[in-house]
Chains A and B, each alone.
Chain A
Amino acid sequence: MDLSRFTKVSEYEWRVEPFGKMRVPAVIYASEALMRAMDEKVFEQVTNVATLPGIVKASYAMPDAHWGYGFPIGGVAAFDADAGGVVSAGGVGFDISCGVRTLTTGLTVAEVEAVKKRLADILFARIPAGVGSTGSLHLSMAEMDAMLRGGAQWAVKRGYGTEADLDRIEERGCMAGADPDQVSEQAKKRQKGNAPTAIAMPPMRGMAMVCTFLVSGTSTICSRPARCVNGGISTIVTKTAIRKPK
């Protein structure tokens, strides 16, 4: 990315003052090397987000920023509803709001390094991803509605997390008033074989994974762990409950 349009605020902060229809500045947090490696679309998208109605303070992007739909992946913004702010189900990623969560496992890097390859293989085997794959959890339509209504609280009730996990999640993992009837039958059918991927899964105890990527999104569904440029493994982990390999 051409850095001549940015003001370097500090070693890891780069700023674009508002121009054109931008309502606020754009700010990217990254080293110079990462900035140079970013594609030009990040500039276009991070400054585009700054034009949205009601945006507060600035349009931000994280060090992993790359070309997304609408927002750059790794984009962050807040909107003030009282100032005509926009509402988006997922500014990052047009469909599924790709995101990355950091999970703490109590394991050291050295412990994980030793089993990294085997671990990755197990994750790929356990998590439904890609054409022709199926998950181990198959939900009836009624149960899928319960999942959509209950969110992470539904998941905890079924043993995929703990009460303490919910304390770390916005709205304790369940937005009041969720109405599964607003989700089309088509969408539910498509999700049926991949149920575990539809759960916004909280960080889990006993998960053998150390993730070092910054939180760059708000939700946790992703079906392309193998290709995710954020670093596949961390994205996989956000998807489902994975037991510690024996």
Chain B
Amino acid sequence: MIEPRWEHFRHGADIGVRGIGPTLEAAFEQAALALTAGVCAPERIVARNAVEVACAAPDPEFLLVDWLNAVIYEMAVRRMLFSRFQVRIQGETLRGTLHGEPVDVARHEPAVEVKGATYTELRVFQDPSGAWVAQCVVDV
């Protein structure tokens, strides 16, 4: 049984985000949660509003970058933070639902602004235990 989880990995000036899960979709969801965790503790965010996004890319690694960038875009334009993610992937297309709420600086205490997902340390793969791993460095 592979528990979905996320972690950060070290980068000189930015943040490495890594999502791990039993499926590709779960790994993408966890990677988005790792991204949020770079801004503030996800448990501070109430998942009261839902936002739909869609993106497409020719391979899972580019799709991860597009997915994270879609999340970052919604965070920036809507001035929201998200703490729950649902991802459906069909072929080259990803559809995602982001659950969160408008930024409340006093309550969320956002530490940094994520500007974009990058190709640095970009990897999407299934490890020997069968867990899917989706990771890259995000620019903050």
- A-side interface residues toward B, CB under 8 Å? 39, 41, 66-69, 73, 93-96, 129-132, 186, 189-190, 193, 223-224, 226-229
Contacts and interface: CB of A to CB of B under 8 A. Distances in A.
Interface of A: prevailing SS: loop
B118 interface: yes
B79 A132 contact: yes
B139 A132 contact: no
Nearest to B105: A132
A186 B55 CA distance: 14
A135 to B, nearest CB: 13
Contacts of A227: 13, 112, 140
A243 B11 CA distance: 35
Contacts of B11: 67
A39 B108 contact: no
B76 A94 contact: no
B110 A69 contact: no
A224 B112 contact: yes
Contacts of B49: none
A129 B113 contact: yes
A92 B40 CA distance: 27
A121 B77 CA distance: 26
B116 interface: yes
B108 A69 contact: no
Interface in B32-72: 39-40
Contact of B13 (A66, A95, A193): A66
B75 interface: yes
Nearest to B13: A229
A102 to B, nearest CB: 21
A85 to B, nearest CB: 22
Contacts of B39: 131
Contacts of B140: 224, 227
Contacts of B105: 131-132
B103 interface: yes
B128 interface: no
